[in-house]
């Protein structure tokens, strides 16, 4: 089977049929070359190290301090990244590979850079704070100045009014100021104190309330909102603020108000009452502002330069740190020798990589100038090795479909190989329309041609999935075009592609086309369904019968493939019991009933007989001895049916009974000391066998084995019926698809066309396009995909697939990048 491998031709020969043969290797590395060795092994990426220190907590391990250093460096890098994204500096993706950095040098360098950056930041922050304070001060000066001016002018107006009226009782709006003014004039009362400042807008109401309560209403507060958000000097965040002026009297009130201001984070600023002074201060503040602005700009540009230089090498550094960290993590998994001179590594690696690994070990020894080389040896173990398939970008997505169900047991037959063809094919049977197929083909070709670009960047969730499965979709589209040509469906428009239709009207008027039918005028249509069927009254019965029978044929074929794979598994794992008491009766049972049905279908197609197959199948069970009458398809059919029925009936106990007893007998033999089972093999599979046998030494519970076998048998027998029926979904979905596209074509596009109005036509076309894309291309694709998935996972794979292995997860730098991103 192995020579089937390199199907692509372009890729290295690979054996996808069974997972790579693996072995457990032990590497003894002298401690001085350990880091370099692991780093080279990481470059190869073909060893899965075992954790030999599982019982130790992370900080008790040998290289905990190095990991801490790496974490510290990673933190610094994160800090840089954060700063860069704040300053909008992009890290150049892959700069020219500059000088290799030593880890220690990098540590020092990053430390310096961090210190410099934090210093620059602190300076900037200080300046910024001063600047923001000044901005706030300026706002206070302006706004508060406005209050005072407005109050003064109003007071003046009122005074003149008052002097004319000789009374001023009802001026509710500015009682305090008026008082203040009048008292100032008279110079009799104490002057009112006031505080000006800014308070965040969200808290201004609470501020006012608390002020009122604390001073028992003996304050006068004016607030005015600042139009745009101000940067708070303390927190550095943008906040909407109000400028306030509080007037109060007395020292106690003042201390209270000051405390409240503090509690509310209100910044206070001195304010002169005198108008002239105010103007002067505004001037002063503006001057300082522009001065500070230039300083800040200079600081910012310095910082930007610094970040720029960091950004140039950021990617390189972070990759180095990531690698370094993973190396030490791996080193932590190795057990240290008692003499503390060498580290012992154990891990799984594929056998083909042995040479590569040994070369890397040698290279590491030379490069680290170590006197002793690393020792590489293969260990024998009974553990089950991990499953590793060498996939390429094409087969990977198909293998993923299989792995999503369960990772194959070590060296088990891999359904992934067949999935490459059967999956898109089953999809296409449900999605047969070459118009839709072409749409999907174009979409996926777009993805494939931009593969290089997309694979390097991060895509959205859904996009990522589509991109990952681009080759699956490509094959799905190609097969859809193929089945679409067979169904003769193009957005449900019939085409006479290969030759004119074989049928013609009886007369020129074509009046009987829909009643009596057409007459056959030419040779049979050479490929696929004759376009004349489209729209005829008998279209559905014809297509249904065709697709239903086709579904059963496909289903029986695929299930047979599954059972045959179980045969190859049994052969490979040297399990004759499974061949004789599982594979053979299963084949007989399935083919005796449904294989026979498939045969009948083909015979009926070939002979054009009118026999009723339902009737044949049902009465094969109900009264097998009855005469078939007009339903007879070939001579001696009754005898054949009787034989098949009997064979199927025998197959059931055949599957059920012997296997548990044989297993029991085998078990007993082993315990008597006559190890009869073929332990002595020449291949690696012997390890696997040995592994299995060691399990058998546990208690042999006969009842458990028997019940297990009973369940298996029942599942298979019932499954043969229900799985065959399950394949009818192929017909159902394809029917749904073609009917939906007919509806959209006839009820939307043709209807709109019929109005002879271009507005309606445009609306119709738009609706048609959206319905086609949304429902047929997206939703139908998804549903057909899911059904194809189900047919593979359940109906196909349950015949042979164990799927209880675990995946090979090598230590590899190449995989590291994806993990972290």
Partner 1 sequence: MYGFEAMTFNIHGGYLEAIVRGHRSGLLTAADYNNLCQCETLDDIKMHLSATEYGPYLQNEPSPLHTTTIVEKCTLKLVDEYKHMLCQATEPLSTFLEYITYGHMIDNVVLIVTGTLHERDVQELLEKCHPLGMFDSIATLAVAQNMRELYRLVLVDTPLAPYFSECITSEDLDDMNIEIMRNTLYKAYLEDFYRFCQKLGGATAEIMSDLLAFEADRRAVNITINSIGTELTRDDRRKLYSTFGLLYPYGHEELAVCEDIDQVRGVMEKYPPYQPIFSKLSYGESQMLDKAFYEEEVKRLCLSFEQQFHYGVFFAYMRLKEQEIRNLMWISECVAQNQKSRVHDSVVFIF
Binding residues for partner 1, per CB under 8 A? 57-60, 64, 67-68, 71-72, 75, 78-79, 203, 206, 209-210, 213-214, 256, 259-260, 262-264
Helix (H) or strand (E) holding 20: none
Minimum gap (Å) between residue 59 Cβ and partner 1: 4
Minimum gap (Å) between residue 57 Cβ and partner 1: 4
Strands 335-336 and 238-239: unpaired
- How far is CA 237 from each of CA 69, 233, 240, 269, 365, rounded to the nearest angstrom? 33, 8, 10, 19, 56
User: Which of residues 314 and 744 has its CB atom nearest to partner 1 in the complex?
Assistant: 314
Minimum gap (Å) between residue 71 Cβ and partner 1: 7
Minimum gap (Å) between residue 95 Cβ and partner 1: 25
User: Which of residues 59 and 614 has its CB atom nearest to partner 1 in the complex?
Assistant: 59
SS3 state at 346: strand
Residue 810 phi, psi (nearest 5): -75, 160
Helix (H) or strand (E) holding 392: none
User: Which of residues 206 and 459 has its CB atom nearest to partner 1 in the complex?
Assistant: 206
Minimum gap (Å) between residue 216 Cβ and partner 1: 10
Minimum gap (Å) between residue 264 Cβ and partner 1: 7
C-alpha 439/C-alpha 436 separation (Å) is 5
Which two tokens mark 72?
Answer: 């510290």
Minimum gap (Å) between residue 255 Cβ and partner 1: 9
User: Which of residues 78 and 697 has its CB atom nearest to partner 1 in the complex?
Assistant: 78
Minimum gap (Å) between residue 763 Cβ and partner 1: 42
Q: At how many degrees (to 10) do helices 416-430 and 539-572 cross?
A: 170
User: Which of residues 75 and 671 has its CB atom nearest to partner 1 in the complex?
Assistant: 75
Minimum gap (Å) between residue 729 Cβ and partner 1: 34
Minimum gap (Å) between residue 753 Cβ and partner 1: 50
Minimum gap (Å) between residue 185 Cβ and partner 1: 34
User: Which of residues 78 and 671 has its CB atom nearest to partner 1 in the complex?
Assistant: 78
Minimum gap (Å) between residue 560 Cβ and partner 1: 46
- How far is CA 406 from each of CA 110, 386, 594, 664, 806, rounded to the nearest angstrom? 45, 13, 28, 29, 9
Minimum gap (Å) between residue 215 Cβ and partner 1: 10
Contact of 37 with 361, CB cutoff 8 Å: yes
**Number of neighbours of residue 152 by Cβ within 10 angstroms:** 14
C-alpha 183/C-alpha 188 separation (Å) is 6
DSSP 8-class letter at 21: P
User: Which of residues 212 and 449 has its CB atom nearest to partner 1 in the complex?
Assistant: 212
C-alpha 68/C-alpha 528 separation (Å) is 68
C-alpha 504/C-alpha 475 separation (Å) is 37
User: Which of residues 117 and 620 has its CB atom nearest to partner 1 in the complex?
Assistant: 117
User: Which of residues 64 and 647 has its CB atom nearest to partner 1 in the complex?
Assistant: 64
User: Which of residues 74 and 728 has its CB atom nearest to partner 1 in the complex?
Assistant: 74
C-alpha 198/C-alpha 235 separation (Å) is 14
- How far is CA 209 from each of CA 199, 204, 241, rounded to the nearest angstrom? 13, 9, 17
DSSP 8-class letter at 807: B
C-alpha 287/C-alpha 265 separation (Å) is 27
Q: At how many degrees (to 10) do helices 470-487 and 393-405 cross?
A: 90
User: Which of residues 262 and 715 has its CB atom nearest to partner 1 in the complex?
Assistant: 262
User: Which of residues 152 and 201 has its CB atom nearest to partner 1 in the complex?
Assistant: 201
User: Which of residues 73 and 89 has its CB atom nearest to partner 1 in the complex?
Assistant: 73
C-alpha 302/C-alpha 305 separation (Å) is 5
User: Which of residues 258 and 814 has its CB atom nearest to partner 1 in the complex?
Assistant: 258
User: Which of residues 203 and 664 has its CB atom nearest to partner 1 in the complex?
Assistant: 203
Minimum gap (Å) between residue 552 Cβ and partner 1: 44
Helix (H) or strand (E) holding 519: strand 519-520
Minimum gap (Å) between residue 76 Cβ and partner 1: 8
C-alpha 507/C-alpha 490 separation (Å) is 28
DSSP 8-class letter at 209: H
Residue 297 makes CB contacts below 8 A (sequence gap 6+) with none
C-alpha 343/C-alpha 26 separation (Å) is 10
Q: What is the 3-state secondary structure (H, E, C) of 645-695?
A: HHHHHHHHHHHHCHHHHHHHHHHHHHHCCCCCCCCCCCCCHHHHHHHHHHH
Contact of 662 with 575, CB cutoff 8 Å: no
C-alpha 555/C-alpha 788 separation (Å) is 12
DSSP 8-class letter at 32: G
Contact of 684 with 21, CB cutoff 8 Å: yes
Task: Give Cα 742 distance to the centre of its chain.
Answer: 35
């Amino acid at each position: 089977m192995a020579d089937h491998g390199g199907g692509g031709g372009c890729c290295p020969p690979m054996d996808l049929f069974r997972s790579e043969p693996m072995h457990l290797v032990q590497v003894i590395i002298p401690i001085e070359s350990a880091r370099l060795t692991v780093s080279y092994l990481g470059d190869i990426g073909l060893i899965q190290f075992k954790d030999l220190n599982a019982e130790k907590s992370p900080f008790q391990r040998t290289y905990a301090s190095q990991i801490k250093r790496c974490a510290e460096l990673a933190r610094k890098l994160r800090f840089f990244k954060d700063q860069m994204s704040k300053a909008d500096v992009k890290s150049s993706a892959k700069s020219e590979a500059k000088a290799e950095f030593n880890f220690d040098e990098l540590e020092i360098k990053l430390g310096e850079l961090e210190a410099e950056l934090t210093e620059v930041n602190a300076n900037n922050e200080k300046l910024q704070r001063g600047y923001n304070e000044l901005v706030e001060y300026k706002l206070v000066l302006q706004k508060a100045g406005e209050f005072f001016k407005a109050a003064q002018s109003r007071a003046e107006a009122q005074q003149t009014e008052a002097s004319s009226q000789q009374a001023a009782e009802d001026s509710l709006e500015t009682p305090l100021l008026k008082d203040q003014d009048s008292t100032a004039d008279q110079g009799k009362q104490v002057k009112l104190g006031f505080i000006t400042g800014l308070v965040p807008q969200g808290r201004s109401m609470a501020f006012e309330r608390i002020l009122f309560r604390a001073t028992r209403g003996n304050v006068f507060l004016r607030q005015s909102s600042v139009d745009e958000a101000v940067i708070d000097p303390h927190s550095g965040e943008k906040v909407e603020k109000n400028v306030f002026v509080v007037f109060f009297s007395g020292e106690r009130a003042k201390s209270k108000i000051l405390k409240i201001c503090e509690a509310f984070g209100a910044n206070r600023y001195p304010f002169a009452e005198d108008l002239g002074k105010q103007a002067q201060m505004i001037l002063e503040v503006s001057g300082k502002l522009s001065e500070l602005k230039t300083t800040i700009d200079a600081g910012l540009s310095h910082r930007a330069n610094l970040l720029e230089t960091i950004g140039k090498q950021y990617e390189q550094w972070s990759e180095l740190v990531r690698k370094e960290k993973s190396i030490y993590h791996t080193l932590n998994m190795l057990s240290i020798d008692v003499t503390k001179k060498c580290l012992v590594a154990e891990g799984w690696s594929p056998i083909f990589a042995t040479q590569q690994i040994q070369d890397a070990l040698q290279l590491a020894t030379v490069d680290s100038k170590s006197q002793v080389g690393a020792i590489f040896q293969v260990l024998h173990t009974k553990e089950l090795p991990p499953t590793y398939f060498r996939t390429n970008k094409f087969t990977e997505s198909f293998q993923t479909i299989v792995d999503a169900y369960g990772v194959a047991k070590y060296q088990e037959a891999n359904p992934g190989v067949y999935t490459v063809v059967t999956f898109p094919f089953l999809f296409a049977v449900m999605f047969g329309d070459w118009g839709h197929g072409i749409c999907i083909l174009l979409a996926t070709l777009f993805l494939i041609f931009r593969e290089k670009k997309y694979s390097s960047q991060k895509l959205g969730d859904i996009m990522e999935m589509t991109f990952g499965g681009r080759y699956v979709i490509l094959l799905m589209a190609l097969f859809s075009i193929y089945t679409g040509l067979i169904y003769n469906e193009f957005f449900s428009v019939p085409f006479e592609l290969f030759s004119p239709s074989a049928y013609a009207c009886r007369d020129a008027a074509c009046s009987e086309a829909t009643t009596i039918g057409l007459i056959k005028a030419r040779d049979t249509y050479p490929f696929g369904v004759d376009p004349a069927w489209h729209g005829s009254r008998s279209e559905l019965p014809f297509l249904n019968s065709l697709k239903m029978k086709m579904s059963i044929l496909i289903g029986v074929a695929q299930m047979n493939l599954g059972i045959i794979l179980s045969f190859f598994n049994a052969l490979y794992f040297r399990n004759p019991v499974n061949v004789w008491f599982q594979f053979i009766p299963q084949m007989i049972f399935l083919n005796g009933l449904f294989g026979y049905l498939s045969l009948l279908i083909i015979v009926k197609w070939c002979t054009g007989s009118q026999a009723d197959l339902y009737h044949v199948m049902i009465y094969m069970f109900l009264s097998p001895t009855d005469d078939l009458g007009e339903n007879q398809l070939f001579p001696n059919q009754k005898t054949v049916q009787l034989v098949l029925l009997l064979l199927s009936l025998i197959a059931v106990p055949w599957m059920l009974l012997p296997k548990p007893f044989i297993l029991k007998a085998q078990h007993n033999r082993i315990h008597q000391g006559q190890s009869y089972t073929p332990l002595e093999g020449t291949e690696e599979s012997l390890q696997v066998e040995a592994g299995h046998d060691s399990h058998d030494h546990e208690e042999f519970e006969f009842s458990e084995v028997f019940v297990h076998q009973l369940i298996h048998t029942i599942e298979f027998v019932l499954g043969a019926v229900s799985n065959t029926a399950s394949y009818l979904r192929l017909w159902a979905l394809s029917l749904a698809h073609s009917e939906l596209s007919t509806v959209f074509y006839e009820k939307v596009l043709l209807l709109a066309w019929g109005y002879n109005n271009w507005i309606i036509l445009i609306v119709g076309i738009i609706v048609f396009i959206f319905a086609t894309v949304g429902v047929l291309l997206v939703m139908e694709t998804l549903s057909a995909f899911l059904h194809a998935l189900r047919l593979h996972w359940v109906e196909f794979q349950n015949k042979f697939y164990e799927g209880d292995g675990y995946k090979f997860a090598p230590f590899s730098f190449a995989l590291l990048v994806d993990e972290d991103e």
